[in-house]
Homo-oligomer: A and B are copies of this chain.
Amino acid sequence: MITVEVALDARSYPIHIGAGLLGHAPLLVPALSEPRVAVVTDTNVAPLYLERVAGALRKAGIAVTEIVIPAGESSKDWPTLNRVIECLLASGCDRATTIVALGGGVVGDLAGFAAATYQRGVPLVQMPTTLLAQVDSAVGGKTAINHPLGKNMIGAFYQPRLVVTDTAALDTLPDRELRAGLAEVIKHGLLGDAAFLAWLEENIDKLKGREPLALAHAIRRCCEMKAAIVREDERESGIRAHLNLGHTFGHAIETGLGYGNWLHGEAVAAGMVMAAELSHRLGHLAARDVDRVRALLGRAGLPVVGPALGPGAYLELMRRDKKAVAGDIRFVLLKHLGEAFVGAAADEAVRGALNACTRDL
């Protein structure tokens, strides 16, 4: 087991990474305020791992409430949150009950927001079971639900007490979901040190082939990088915004197509190509580096062009993005590979990049 520490003073917490951790109650029990948890998971994950987690906890004397939501991004909404809150109330969960988010990004975001707001906040443990959640969404405290007018529009920064990352859970992850997770891994490579990007180019086939050592290394490096960024800028007033590389375009794709048609990681992959292309058109990233981004994502089996919604529709959706300031879209751009910055761009350049990176699907 490897442990990565997220240092946030009184709210610091460990990320434990290893194979088989889901059934290992002693990791969790000392973090509980009272011997009671509510495990929130979805209809995909419940048949695979719920009994393993709940059974181990019950054997350790912990009372467990099980709450299973429908799988899919469309569950990240108010009615589902309200059902979770109702289950918590009906089973007598109180302010000392710990909510355990067992699943991917949707479960983590929804259950995390439930923990942030139930009775003004209860303890939270993240147990990510997808690669995307393990390298990104379960780390750093972002929680949210979607609004019909925009993704993640209602949410909170709320740190967990503990993240338990079981790499063996990836064995059952569908190929498409694994690839979507690789998009966020590659994002860390584009933002971080050159060595990790080179390692990814070297090892992308091993990652696609689920080689355990390669996956564990990638997860660890991503968690270390993300922990360092979150420590510096927990509430995204500065450098944390770099983690949104590809997300402004990506959210427009997700919202434009309707949530759940493309996986988040797929939209971010196409969005990173757009961001790289835009960076190039603005005179930053070299053309060969745009090709390098496109090639690595393509080798990971990810989309490198977006749907042709039309540049006008993209611009309209991005102006409504919550990272926009007074209607100005804030793009995360690449100065070169490994160094990002946040900047504006003329609509003309954005239209050009969009035309170069979209087609009718």
Interface set of A (CB-CB < 8 Å, partner B): 34, 36, 78, 82, 85-86, 89-90, 92, 94-96, 116-121, 142-144, 147, 149-150, 152-157, 235-236, 319-320, 322-327
Rank and list the top 9 A-B pairs by shortest CB-CB distance, nearest first.
A119-B322, A120-B155, A89-B149, A117-B154, A94-B325, A120-B157, A120-B156, A94-B324, A117-B156
State whether A154 and B78 are in contact (beta carbons under 8 Å apart), knowing that A34-B325, A36-B326, A121-B235 are contacts in the complex: no
Assess whether B149 is in contact with A94, with CB atoms less than 8 Å apart. Answer: no
A96 and B154 within 8 A (CB): no
Which partner residue on chain B sits nearest A90 by CB separation?
B149
**A157 touching B121, Cβ below 8 Å:** yes
Which residues on the B side are within 8 Å of A116 (C-beta)?
156
Structural contact, B142 and A120, CB atoms closer than 8 A: yes
A141 to chain B, nearest CB (A): 9
User: What is the CB-to-nearest-CB distance from A154 to chain B, in angstroms, rounded to a whole number?
Assistant: 5
Nearest B residue to A82 by beta-carbon distance?
B78
Find out whether the CB atom of A150 lies under 8 angstroms from the CB atom of B94: no
Contacts of A118 in B (CB 8 A): 153-154
In the complex, what's the smallest C-beta–C-beta distance from A252 to chain B, in angstroms?
Answer: 15
A149 to B92: give the CA distance in the assembly, Å.
11
Question: Smallest CB-CB separation from A323: which chain B residue?
Answer: B95
The answer to whether A156 touches B156 (Cβ under 8 A) is: yes
Bound form: Cα–Cα A61–B89 in Å: 46
When distances are taken between beta carbons in the complex, the residues of chain B under 8 Å from A121 are: 156-157, 235
Not counting A82-B147, A89-B153, A119-B153, a sample of 17 additional A-B residue pairs whose C-beta atoms are within 8 angstroms of each other reads: A78-B82, A85-B154, A86-B149, A89-B149, A89-B150, A89-B320, A92-B320, A94-B322, A94-B324, A118-B153, A118-B154, A119-B152, A119-B155, A119-B322, A120-B143, A120-B155, A121-B235
Least CB distance, A302 to chain B, in whole angstroms:
27
Chain B min CB distance to A116 (Å): 7
Q: How far is the CB of A30 from chain B (nearest CB, A)?
A: 19
Which one, B82, B153, B236, B327, contacts A85 given CB within 8 A?
B153
Cα distance A31–B143 when bound, in Å? 27
CB contacts (< 8 Å) of A78 on chain B: these are 78, 82
List 5 interface pairs A-B (beta carbons < 8 Å), by A numbering: A85-B153, A92-B320, A116-B156, A118-B154, A120-B142
Q: Within 8 Å CB of A235, what residues of B?
A: 120-121
Do the beta carbons of B120 and A327 come within 8 Å of each other? no
For A120, give its contact among B119, B152, B325 (CB under 8 Å).
Answer: B152
B36, B89, B94, B327: the one contacting A92 at CB < 8 Å is B327
- Note all chain B residues with C-beta closer than 8 A to A92: 319-320, 326-327
**A144 engages B120 (CB within 8 Å):** yes
What is the chain B residue whose CB lies nearest that of A145? B117
What distance in Å separates the Cβ of A199 from its nearest Cβ neighbour in chain B? 32
